Amino acid sequence: MAASAPSSSSGGDPDPNSTNLRPPSSNYDWSGVAHGCTRKLGMKICGFLQKNNNVDDKSGIVGFFNDQQPSKSIFTQDNERESRLRRTETDFSNLYARDLLPAKNGEECTIQFLLEVVDILTNYVRKTFDRSTKVLDFHHPHQLLEGIEGFNLELCDQPESLEQILVDCRDTLKYGVRTGHPRFFNQLSSGLDIMGLAGEWLTSTANTNMFTYEIAPVFVLMEQLTLKKMREIIGWPNGEGDGIFSPGGAVSNMYSVMVARYKHYPEVKIKGMAAVPRLVLFTSEHSHYSIKKASAALGFGTENLILLSTDERGRVIPADLEAKVIDAKQKGFVPMFVNATGGSTVYGAFDPINEIADICEKYNLWLHVDGAWGGGLLMSRKHRHKLNGIERANSVTWNPHKMMGVPLQCSAILVREKGLLQGCNSMCAGYLFQQDKQYDVTYDTGDKAIQCGRHVDIFKFWLMWKSKGTIGFEKHIDRCLELSEYLYHKIKNREGYEIVFKGEPQHTNVCFWYIPPSLRGLPDGPERRERLHKVAPKIKAMMMECGTTMVGYQPQGDKVNFFRMVVSNPAATRSDIDFLIDEIERLGQDL
Amino acid sequence: MAASAPSSSSGGDPDPNSTNLRPPSSNYDWSGVAHGCTRKLGMKICGFLQKNNNVDDKSGIVGFFNDQQPSKSIFTQDNERESRLRRTETDFSNLYARDLLPAKNGEECTIQFLLEVVDILTNYVRKTFDRSTKVLDFHHPHQLLEGIEGFNLELCDQPESLEQILVDCRDTLKYGVRTGHPRFFNQLSSGLDIMGLAGEWLTSTANTNMFTYEIAPVFVLMEQLTLKKMREIIGWPNGEGDGIFSPGGAVSNMYSVMVARYKHYPEVKIKGMAAVPRLVLFTSEHSHYSIKKASAALGFGTENLILLSTDERGRVIPADLEAKVIDAKQKGFVPMFVNATGGSTVYGAFDPINEIADICEKYNLWLHVDGAWGGGLLMSRKHRHKLNGIERANSVTWNPHKMMGVPLQCSAILVREKGLLQGCNSMCAGYLFQQDKQYDVTYDTGDKAIQCGRHVDIFKFWLMWKSKGTIGFEKHIDRCLELSEYLYHKIKNREGYEIVFKGEPQHTNVCFWYIPPSLRGLPDGPERRERLHKVAPKIKAMMMECGTTMVGYQPQGDKVNFFRMVVSNPAATRSDIDFLIDEIERLGQDL
C-alpha cells in the first residue's frame, strides 16, 4: 500500500516528524515552529484535562515550564520540550482511530489529534487568503487515481495510522481547489467566511438533526427566527408565512412547484397527477435548469414547462408570458405556476416581478421568485429595488450560500401562506412526530420537509448574521456590486473585449468575450464564431493548469462561448480584477 | 440588546475574561488553565505566523518564554503570560467579524478566533464522552425564546463583538443535546465519531461543491471509489453500476422511485405522469414514511402506494406482495416498484429479499432495498446474511450516517444499471457541464443529481474508512448488535417488562413496554391499554427533564406506546444499557 508511508504535505511545511534540531538561523522555517506549538498545546491541554490526573502532583507540570535556565534561548527550550513532543509524535504513527475516544484513556490522544487537524486547517486558511499561493494544483483524474506521491485514494480492509491520516488530510487539501482564494471566481459561491467556517465546525461537533425540537432545540428556534427575518426582508406582512432550509436552490425550487401544486390541487398528494388536468408551468429561457428538473421529477414533464422569451439582457418579457398563458388555456391546458428569476445564473438578470405578478393575479397563477443568486440583494438598500414586487410572490428561493457568502449548503424556501408546506409534505410518522410530548410540538417542523433527517444548515448563517449584523451583509453586497461595476467599466471599451449584453449588469455577472489579436481583424461570420468559441475554453484550461485564477465560461443560445465573471468573494479586490484581465490577456494573446 | 453582555458559558467553565489571578489552591479549576493554554497557543501561532513579522527580532519571542525565574511556579508564570493574554482577551471584545480575514492584518485575529472556537469545541467533545455530564439541559421553546441568561437568539442590524460570538457558541452547545453522549439512544444516528468530526471540519474548510471535477477533483474521485466499494459489498459484479450521495435516506429513496419510473417509462421525463398508465408501488406497512413522501411528491399519489402486510416481527409476507400485485393488475393498474426494507425503523426488521426478488423478477418490477438503517450490516460477516438477496436489487439506499456512525449527512443511493441516474435527471446545463473542458468530463457527475449544488458528504466517510478499515466498521457493528442482544436478554424475563415482538431482534432495535407496578395486576383491556399508552411519554419527559438519558417511543398499528431502544453509538457499553433500565424503573415506578 503506497500510502502507508507519509509523504507529501500541503504547501511545503517541513515534516515535523523529521525535525529534531532547530538552529536559530535566519533561514529558519517559522511555520514549523508554529506546528510544534500546536503539538505543545495538545500536550498541555491533555495533561491538564486528563480526567484521572493527580491535581496535587504539580512537579511534572511545573517541570514543563521550569526545566530551563534564563540564559537559554527559546530554541534550546524548544528542543527540551521536543523531548516530550517527540514521544507524542512517535505515537501518531502507532496510534489508530481505535485509540481515540470513546477508547479508554483516549482523551489525550483525541484532543491532540484534533489539534493536529486544526493546525492543518488553519494553515490552509492562511494560504487561502495569500495571493502568492495558487488557486489550484491541477491534475487529471487518471493522475489522481494513480496516486500522486503516495496519495492513495483506495479504501482498504485494514486501518491506517493517525500519522497517515494526517498526511491524507494534507493531501486532500493540496490537490483540491481553494474556493476562498481571492482569485477564485468560478462559481456563484466563493469565498471562505471565517465566521461561517467557525459555525460549520460547531455544527459538525453538535452533529444533530433538524427533524425535531427534541434533539435540536436551539437550531430549530434559530431556523424559525431567521426564516421570519428573511420573510420580513422580503416584505411579507409581519414576516408571516412559512419556510424551511433545504439542501440547495434546486431542491428549494422543487419545493415551490410542489407547494403550488398542493395549493391548487391538493388531491394530487393522494391521487397523483392522473387526477388533474394537464398543468403547465412557465419560466424564462434564462432561468436555472432546476425548474426543468423539478418538472421532470414531480411528474409534470419537461414539455409542460413553457419557456418564456427574454429581452436582450435576459429578462422575461411579460407580454410573452401573458400570450403563452392565453395560448396554453386555448389548448386546454391549465397554467398553474410561474417562476420569475431574481438574478439569473449567467446574465445576472432580474425578471420584472411586478409586471409578472400582475399577470399571475389576473390568471390565478402561483408566483415563485427564484432568488437563489439574487436574493442576497434584498439586504442592500441600494440594490434591493431590483427585486421590487417580490413581496407579491407566493414563494421565494433564497440561497445565503451564494451572494451572502455563507458556506455550502444554505438555501431557504420561503412560502407566503402558512400551513402549505406541512399540508403538502406531512406524513405524520408516529415514531418521530409524537403528539404526546411534554413540549409544544408545533416546533417539530421536520414533517414539512421532503427529507426525514435534515442537516443543520442554519447555525453558520445565524452566527454570521449575529457577527456582521444586517449592515455587514449589506456592505458585502454593495462591495461586490462595486467590483463588478469596476470590471465592467474597465473592459467596456478596452481593445480585445466585447461585452455580451449592453448596459451595466444588474448583478455582479459581467459577461464578455476576449478577442485574441489574431481574430480582431476577422469579419463576423462562421469562421470567426467557430474560432472565438474555442478561445474561452483554451484560456480557462491554461488558467487551471497554471493555477493562477478560475472563471466560468459557457455558450448561451446562439452566442458562442464567453466568460461569465461573477463576484461574491469578500476577499476579492480591484487588484484581483486587474489580475484576471491581465491573465486572460497573457494566456490568450497568441491564440 | 441583552446578549451583548457575555454571560453564561457551556458546562461551567469559569469565564476566562474575568480570571486575573490564579492561586495554586486545591480548588483550582483546571479546565480554566487549559482554556488559557489555547489562548496562548493562539498568541504563539499568530505571533510566529504573522506575515509581516520581523523574524530577526527575537527579543519579544524569547521574552515570551524567558521572563520567568526558575523559582517561580507555573501559576506565577501563567500570570505573567496573562499580561500578554489579557491584551488579547480585551481585544476580542473590541474585535468584530470585519477584523477577520480577508481584513488587512486579519491573520492573527483569525487564527486566534478559530483556536478559541476549537477550544470550546474540544471541551464539548470531552464532555460528550463524560458520563458525569448530562445528555441535555432541557428547556421549553418559550424559555429559550425569552432568552436564558442573556442568550439572545434574535438577529440584529448591528454586529456583535467576537467575545459575544464566542459566548453565543458556548450557549448554543450548552442548550443543545449531546447526541454523542454514551447514554443518548434517541435516534438511529447517534455517537460522535472523532475521525468523522475531523473529516467534517476539513470539509467545511475546503467549502466546495460536488457538481464538477473542476472544483472538487479529490472529493469527486473519493465519491466514485467509495460508491464502487459499496456496490462490491452489495455484491454487484465487479462493483459495476452507479450511485450518488444524497441529503439523506428520504431523498435516496425518492431517487429509487424516480429511476425505476425512468427505466420503465422514460417518456415521463418529457411528457409527465399523464402519459403513462396508473402505476402502483408496493412497500411494507412497517417501511419508512419516505416512500410515501416520494409517491406524493413524484406524482403517483399515496393511494397508489400499496401497503404490504407483515408477520408478527414486521417482515413483509411475500405471498401478500404477490396477491396484491395480481390484484392490482386485475384492476388495470400497472405494478412497477417494490421497496423491501433492510432494517425497519421501529422493529429493525429485514424483509426477505430473495423471496421478494423472485416475485419482482416474475412480474418485471423494480426492486429497491431501503437499507438506510440496516445497510451497515453488510460490513459484518456475521450479520450480512440478514440482507441476503440484496445483490438482486435494482437499487439500494444505504446511510453510513446511521449504523456506521458517520456524522450527518451521509446517505447513498446505489443503482445496479449504469446510466439511469444520468438519463433520468440530466438537463445538460451549458454553464456548468461544458463538454469542451480539458479533462475527461465523464467525471462531472453533478447532472445525475436532482440537486445543482451538492454538499461534500463523502470526505468524512472516506476518512473514517481509511482510518478504521473495513474491519473497523465490522467491529463497530458487531459490538452494537451484541449490546442489543444483551439488553434483550436482560429484560426478556425481567419483572415489569413486556417485549413487543417475540424472538431475538434482527437489528439493534429492542422494542418493549415498561409496566409500572400499579399496572401489573390489571387485566388486559381498554383501561390497561389507555394507562400503558401514557407510560412511555411520561418516562421520556422525565428523562429529558433530568437530562440523564434519551430513548425513543411510539405506538405502532394497534400497539400502544412502547420504547424503541436502538444502539448505534460506539461509546455505549453494557453499563449504559444497565443505566437506561435503572432509569426507566426509577422514573416509572410510581406511575
> What are the φ and ψ backbone dihedral angles of A505, each rounded to 5 degrees?
-60, 150
- Cα(B517)–Cα(B535) distance, integer angstroms: 12
pLDDT above 70: residue B173? yes
pLDDT above 50: residue B408? yes
Residue A562, strand partner residues: A554
Set of chain B residues whose Cβ sits within 8 Å of the Cβ of A438: 537, 540-541, 544-545
Model confidence at B89, pLDDT cuts 50, 70, 90, reads low
Q: Coil, strand or helix: which one is B306? A: strand
**Quick check: B22 contacting A, CB < 8 Å?**
no
Enter the DSSP assignment of B240.
-
- Cα(A13)–Cα(B462) distance, integer angstroms: 24
**Residues in B 186-245 with any Cβ partner in A closer than 8 A:** 186-187, 189, 192, 194-195, 197-198, 200-202, 204-209, 213-219, 221-222, 225-226, 229
- Cα(A194)–Cα(B196) distance, integer angstroms: 21
Model confidence at B501, pLDDT cuts 50, 70, 90, reads very high
Higher-confidence position of B23 and A257: A257
**Quick check: A519 contacting B, CB < 8 Å?**
no
Instruction: Give the N- to C-terminal CA distance of chain B in Å, as an integer.
Output: 44
pLDDT value at residue B428: 87
Q: Do B100 and A145 touch (CB under 8 A)?
A: no
Supply the mean pLDDT for chain B.
87
- Cα(B110)–Cα(B27) distance, integer angstroms: 34
Q: Do A545 and B438 touch (CB under 8 A)?
A: yes
Residue type, B403: M
Under the phi-then-psi rule, with left for phi > 0, alpha for psi from -120 to 50, and beta for the rest, what region is A213? alpha
Set of chain A residues whose Cβ sits within 8 Å of the Cβ of B248: 451-455
- Residues whose CB falls within 8 Å of the CB of residue A523, separated by 6 or more in sequence, listed in order: none
Q: How far is B20 from chain A (nearest CA, A)?
A: 19
Residue identified by cell 465519491 is: B223
Residue of A nearest to B421 (CA): A297
pLDDT value at residue B558: 94
pLDDT tens over chain A, length 591 residues: 333 334 443 333 333 333 333 333 333 333 333 333 333 343 333 333 333 333 233 333 222 233 333 333 333 333 333 332 233 454 689 999 999 999 999 999 999 999 999 999 999 999 999 999 999 999 999 999 999 999 999 999 999 999 999 999 999 999 999 999 999 999 999 999 999 999 999 999 999 999 999 999 999 999 999 999 999 999 999 999 999 999 999 999 999 999 999 999 999 999 999 999 999 999 999 999 999 999 999 999 999 999 999 999 999 999 999 999 999 999 999 999 999 999 999 999 999 999 999 999 999 999 999 999 999 999 999 999 999 999 999 999 999 999 999 999 999 999 999 999 999 999 988 888 889 999 999 999 889 999 999 999 999 999 999 999 999 999 999 999 999 999 999 999 999 999 999 999 999 999 999 999 999 999 999 999 999 999 999 999 999 999 999 999 999 999 999 999 999 999 999 999 999 999 999 999 999
pLDDT value at residue A89: 56
> What are the φ and ψ backbone dihedral angles of A336, each rounded to 5 degrees?
-135, -35
**Quick check: B473 contacting A, CB < 8 Å?**
no
CB A396 within 8 A of CB A239: no
pLDDT value at residue B559: 97
Grid cell, residue B397, equals: 439506499
What count of other Cβ atoms lies within 10 Å of the Cβ of residue B444? 20
* Domains and their CATH numbers in chain B: 2-171 (no CATH), 209-459 (3.40.640.10), 468-588 (3.90.1150.170)
Higher-confidence position of B18 and B121: B121
pLDDT above 70: residue B24? no
ipTM greater than 0.95, yes or no? no
pLDDT value at residue A432: 82
**Quick check: A180 contacting B, CB < 8 Å?**
yes
**Quick check: B162 contacting A, CB < 8 Å?**
yes
Enter the DSSP assignment of A471.
H
Nearest to A97 among B288, B302, B467 (CB): B467
**Quick check: B21 contacting A, CB < 8 Å?**
no
Model confidence at B167, pLDDT cuts 50, 70, 90, reads very high
**Percentage of residues in chain B having pLDDT higher than 90:** 83
pLDDT value at residue A575: 98
pLDDT tens figures, A117-131: 999 999 999 999 999
CB B246 within 8 A of CB B352: no
Helix residue spans in B431-502 (DSSP H): 458-492
Name which of B107, B285, B307, B408 to mutate to probe chain A: the one with the most chain A Cβ atoms within 10 A of its Cβ.
Answer: B408
Set of chain A residues whose Cβ sits within 8 Å of the Cβ of B292: 427
Enter the DSSP assignment of B554.
E
Q: How far is A382 from chain B (nearest CA, A)?
A: 16
pLDDT tens figures, B374-405: 999 999 999 999 999 999 999 999 999 999 99
- What Å distances lie between residue A157 and A4, A491, B411, B475, CA to CA? 13, 56, 21, 12
Question: How many Cα atoms are found within 13 Å in the side-chain-facing hemisphere of B512?
Answer: 29
Q: How far is A531 from chain B (nearest CA, A)?
A: 13
